[in-house]
């Protein structure tokens, strides 16, 4: 059945497809046949083409904090093609190329209209395993619910998302590359440009040189930072870090001196901007200590693996240092992400070199192992070239 044939009926029905289902925290994914409901009001159903594995997927999968929200389908950094649309959807049609968004934009709430925030009050980050609208799941196995992740769940051949949690992109943009802009790469670039607003000639330090950290480095370089210090315990990241703009690579294992002191010495008084891209709240404190007095700004981007509380001596703040957080780089998802796709198409930003592995869907557990072991930046998972199957009676 072709994609066109599958959507000729105005009322799409339940389909069956394959998805990587996690049955418990830290347990290997199992490729299961799942039922996927049709899109409800203001939702779209998407044929996932490519989905990349983000560190936050691994962190959530390993965490015991939400052990009750299983079975579950992870994945949120994805590109695909609209298969069908629900009632009320006018901005998408079948065949549109889209990026999924783990945090949406309703365009009408206080935050969306403020010009100051990208934290949508209606379609914000969803942590409870269900959809924004009716607070139910769209996936099931033999009638029993399978929970979502970030209301996206892209580790599936098809998924359903709210229309406010997807953005239309140019059909000429390669879906196996731009999927990185639905989370990690965009988060790093936005942290440098929108949140910190790095100024020319400034001194920057970045803790953690994964996809997000390297994207911060790329953004800092494009803003004309004079010094970009990258801090990471994996020496093998040095060469790639330099390619993305890092001028000084610092491995904490190579020094007995406290890292803030090293950075203070290298920068002549502390960095203008520090970015914590690891997901370690202790490192947030280190980053804050690495900034200069008066105007030093620390931006935290990482999702903590444990101990979410941040501690810091009040004197750091009293002396003019600032600590702020960044979700999705401050981008308004639907309004601004298309501009990053256009920048990529014009070769103004680099994505390709962030992809270290390409794997077929059936090897998704290998992708998790690679990320867990720290041996990849981004692994793009390629979904099979197959069509959905309508369930009997639909």
Nearest Cα neighbor of 118 from 97, 134, 102 is 102
Predicted TM-score (pTM) of the model is 0.93
DSSP secondary structure code for residue 195 in this structure: I
Please write the tens of the pLDDT for every residue from 55-113: 999 999 998 777 789 999 999 999 999 999 999 999 999 999 999 999 999 999 999 99
Tokens linked to 325? 């957080």
Q: Please name every residue paired with 378 in a beta bridge, in sequence order, or none if there are none.
A: 355
**pLDDT score of 296 more than 90:** yes
d(CA 190, CA 211) in angstroms, rounded, equals: 13
**Model confidence band, residue 2 (pLDDT cutoffs 50, 70, 90):** very low
**pLDDT score of 14 more than 50:** yes
Residues 6 or more apart in contact with residue 306 via CB below 8 angstroms: none
pLDDT at 11: 78
pLDDT at 391: 61
d(CA 281, CA 99) in angstroms, rounded, equals: 30
Average confidence (pLDDT) over 175-181? 98
What share of the chain in percent tops pLDDT 90? 88
Average confidence (pLDDT) over 292-319? 91
Please write the tens of the pLDDT for every residue from 38-55: 999 999 999 999 999 999
Q: Where are the beta strands (DSSP E) in 10-108?
A: 15-21, 30-36, 43-52, 77-85, 97-100
Q: N- to C-terminal Cα distance for the chain?
A: 14
| Other CB atoms within 10 A of residue 347 CB | 7
d(CA 301, CA 274) in angstroms, rounded, equals: 11
Where would I find the H helices in 117-199?
175-178, 184-190
Mean pLDDT for the chain?
Answer: 94
Nearest Cα neighbor of 73 from 364, 389, 324 is 364
Please write the tens of the pLDDT for every residue from 228-249: 999 999 999 999 999 999 999 9
């Amino acid at each position: 059945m072709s994609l066109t044939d599958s959507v000729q009926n105005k009322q799409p029905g339940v389909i069956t497809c394959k998805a990587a289902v996690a049955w418990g925290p830290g347990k290997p994914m199992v490729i299961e046949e799942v039922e996927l409901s049709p899109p409800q009001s203001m939702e779209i159903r998407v044929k996932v083409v490519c989905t990349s594995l983000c560190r936050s997927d691994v962190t959530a999968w390993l965490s015991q904090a939400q052990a009750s929200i299983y079975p579950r389908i992870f994945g949120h950094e994805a590109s695909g093609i609209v298969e069908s649309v629900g009632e009320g959807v006018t901005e998408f049609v079948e065949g549109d190329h889209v990026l999924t968004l783990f945090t949406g934009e309703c365009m009408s709430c206080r935050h969306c209209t403020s010009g100051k925030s990208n934290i949508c009050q209606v379609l914000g980050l969803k942590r409870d395993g269900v959809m924004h609208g009716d607070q139910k799941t769209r996936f099931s196995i033999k009638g029993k619910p399978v929970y979502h992740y970030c209301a996206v769940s892209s580790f599936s051949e098809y998924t359903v998302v709210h229309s406010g949690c997807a953005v239309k992109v140019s059909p000429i943009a390669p879906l196996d590359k731009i999927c990185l802009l639905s989370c990690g790469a965009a988060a790093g670039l936005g942290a440098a440009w929108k949140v910190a607003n790095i100024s020319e000639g400034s001194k920057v330090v970045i803790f953690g040189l994964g996809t997000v950290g390297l994207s911060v480095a790329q953004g800092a370089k494009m803003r004309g930072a004079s010094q970009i210090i990258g801090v990471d315990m994996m020496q093998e990241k040095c060469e790639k870090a330099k390619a993305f703009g890092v001028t000084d690579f610092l491995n904490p294992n190579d020094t007995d001196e406290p890292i803030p002191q090293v950075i203070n010495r290298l920068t002549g008084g502390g960095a203008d901007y520090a970015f914590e891209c690891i997901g370690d709240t202790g490192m947030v404190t280190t980053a804050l200590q690495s900034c200069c007095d008066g105007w030093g700004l620390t931006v935290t981007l990482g999702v903590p693996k444990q101990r979410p509380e941040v501690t810091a001596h009040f004197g750091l703040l009293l002396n003019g240092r600032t600590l702020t957080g960044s979700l999705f780089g401050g981008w308004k998802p639907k309004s601004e992400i298309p501009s990053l796709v256009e920048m990529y198409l014009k070769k103004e930003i680099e994505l390709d070199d962030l992809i270290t592995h390409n794997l077929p869907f059936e090897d998704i557990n290998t992708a998790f192992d690679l990320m867990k072991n720290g041996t990849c930046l981004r692994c793009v998972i390629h979904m099979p070239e197959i069509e959905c199957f309508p369930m009997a009676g639909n």
